[in-house]
Amino acid sequence: MTITTTKKAKLWNRDFAIHTLSYLLIFSGFYFLLPTLPFFVVNDLGQDESRVGYIIGVYALSALMIRPIAGYALDTYGRKQVYLWSLSIYVLISGLYILADTYFSLLVLRILHGLSWGVITNGGITIASDLVPVKRRGEGISYFSLSITLSMAIGPLVGLSILEKSNFQMLFISTFFVAMLALLLALMVSYIKFPKTTKKLGWNNVFEKKVLHITLVMLVTAVTYGGLMSFIILYAKELTISNIPLVFLVYAAGVACLRPFSGQYMDKRGPGLIILISFLITIFGYVLLSQTKTESLFLLACFITGVGNGLIMPTILTMTANLVDTGRRGVANSTIYSATDMGIGLGSIILGYVAKIIGIGNMFLMAGLLLILPLIYFFSVAFKHYNLNRINPSSE
């Protein structure tokens, strides 16, 4: 498929900058809710801690359900219409959280919110890949991913501060207005225009087999991430960590510290060394997290885990973009994100029950050991496949 674009070669063009800022706001609203909803479920709705995992899990799994269709729609009908409509729906649902007064109603909202989230996140990275120069793609995606990292630092801090000074109603209202501002910015972006297409909805247009191997790597990695995001705050409470927002701030600092350099290295030397280092660091972080007893050691473990996780996702996303042409980028990203959602959803639920049986600390230890499997698979299968099938940048 031939795509027409007049984008400038520089990395930080107007549209890429606005799109990145909009994405920062979208994820900030997401992180308003991530650390606070567990308290809402347990304290306000009176539910057992094991049900916290479902609130995170159904969100990810509903996003998983829509992603294959989202990828097809982005490639077939164009980025602009699909992305803006899904973001509009996301904003609408954000305004309905204030009405959730039962566990069931919250669960329904999380399912609906997850569906729109699945399209937005798939569209967001696909649009970013369109807007950056091909030869600086790794660097561009790394910088774009920092919008998620910054939101990881800002969102929990602001969300928990609102909750401390006010209540959940004010938190939900704030989430809605942040999402609305993100939509207004998204309306200002000039999106890539696609020629008319007659692609039919079928297996080949909802799943990209070229990214199968790195998808399997991402699937297992996301299982451990689901356990981390679902239970890190409860673990902090268990260890009597008083400054909860600092946990996300330290984790986000770890995620951010090497990302720009890793993107530049990826463009010049490829993903091999980055993946090796990132997995080893993440494994060490999980093991350290499982053994910590003090606040300082806990925060150090969060920082180390953030460094490792912060390198994995943008590297995998850059590999994804390098394996397919522009007209298949939407479905390729949906394939990767579907695996990520499935992993997070399964991890938050399954590791939730594991944590209930053996404790949160031992669950983190199991998560670290589990990461050995995708590391072995990457270098025995996925990396070799990537080197044989990646698209030459000069041909794009």
**Do residues 39 and 162 make contact, with C-beta atoms less than 8 angstroms apart?**
no
Task: Give the model's confidence band at 44: pLDDT under 50 very low, under 70 low, under 90 confident, else very high.
Answer: confident
Q: Please check the confidence at residue 375 and state whether its pLDDT lies above 60.
A: yes
For residue 243, the tally of other CB atoms under 10 A from its CB is 12
- Spatial neighbors of 186 by CB under 8 A, at least 6 apart, are 18, 19, 22, 83, 84, 87
> Which tokens is 112 given?
């609906």
**% pLDDT > 90, the chain:** 38
Task: Give the model's confidence band at 217: pLDDT under 50 very low, under 70 low, under 90 confident, else very high.
Answer: very high
Residue 2: what pLDDT? 40
| pLDDT tens for each residue of 298-311 | 999 999 999 999 89
Distance between start and end Cα atoms, the chain? 11
* Mean pLDDT over the full length of the chain: 86
Q: Please check the confidence at residue 268 and state whether its pLDDT lies above 90.
A: no
Q: Please check the confidence at residue 6 and state whether its pLDDT lies above 70.
A: no
Task: Give the model's confidence band at 358: pLDDT under 50 very low, under 70 low, under 90 confident, else very high.
Answer: very high
CA distances 109 to 38, 100, 171, 285, 377, Å, are: 15, 8, 16, 33, 37
Task: Give the model's confidence band at 50: pLDDT under 50 very low, under 70 low, under 90 confident, else very high.
Answer: low
> Which tokens is 395 given?
């041909």
DSSP character for 326? G
Task: Give the model's confidence band at 317: pLDDT under 50 very low, under 70 low, under 90 confident, else very high.
Answer: confident
Mean pLDDT of 322-344: 83
Segment of 17-21, 197-201, 227-231 carrying the highest mean pLDDT? 17-21
Task: Give the model's confidence band at 202: pLDDT under 50 very low, under 70 low, under 90 confident, else very high.
Answer: low
Within the chain, where are the H helices? 14-33, 37-39, 52-77, 79-94, 103-131, 137-165, 168-186, 212-238, 244-257, 259-269, 272-291, 295-323, 329-358, 360-370, 372-377, 383-389
Higher pLDDT: 395 or 306? It is: 306
Helix (H, G, I), strand (E, B) or coil at 270: coil
- How far apart CA 292 and CA 122 sit, in angstroms, is 36
Task: Give the model's confidence band at 112: pLDDT under 50 very low, under 70 low, under 90 confident, else very high.
Answer: very high
User: Domain 14-191+209-390, what fold?
Assistant: Growth Hormone; Chain: A; (1.20.1250)
User: Which of 43-47, 168-172, 375-379 shows the lowest per-residue confidence on average (mean pLDDT)?
Assistant: 43-47
User: Which of 30-34, 109-113, 116-120 shows the lowest per-residue confidence on average (mean pLDDT)?
Assistant: 30-34
Mean pLDDT of 196-214: 75
Amino acid at 160: L
- How far apart CA 180 and CA 88 sit, in angstroms, is 8
Mean pLDDT of 45-59: 76
Residue 7: what pLDDT? 45
Residue 4: what pLDDT? 44
Within 97-136, where are the H helices? 103-131
Q: Please check the confidence at residue 394 and state whether its pLDDT lies above 60.
A: no
**Do residues 139 and 307 make contact, with C-beta atoms less than 8 angstroms apart?**
no
The residue assigned the tokens 């079928």 is: 202
Residue 270 backbone zone (phi > 0: left; psi -120 to 50: alpha; other: beta): left
Mean pLDDT of 385-390: 91
- How far apart CA 203 and CA 234 sit, in angstroms, is 40
Higher pLDDT: 7 or 73? It is: 73
Q: Please check the confidence at residue 24 and state whether its pLDDT lies above 50.
A: yes
Task: Give the model's confidence band at 257: pLDDT under 50 very low, under 70 low, under 90 confident, else very high.
Answer: confident
**Do residues 158 and 45 make contact, with C-beta atoms less than 8 angstroms apart?**
no
**Closest-CA residue to 88 (of 191, 189, 182):** 182
**Closest-CA residue to 193 (of 56, 316, 81):** 81
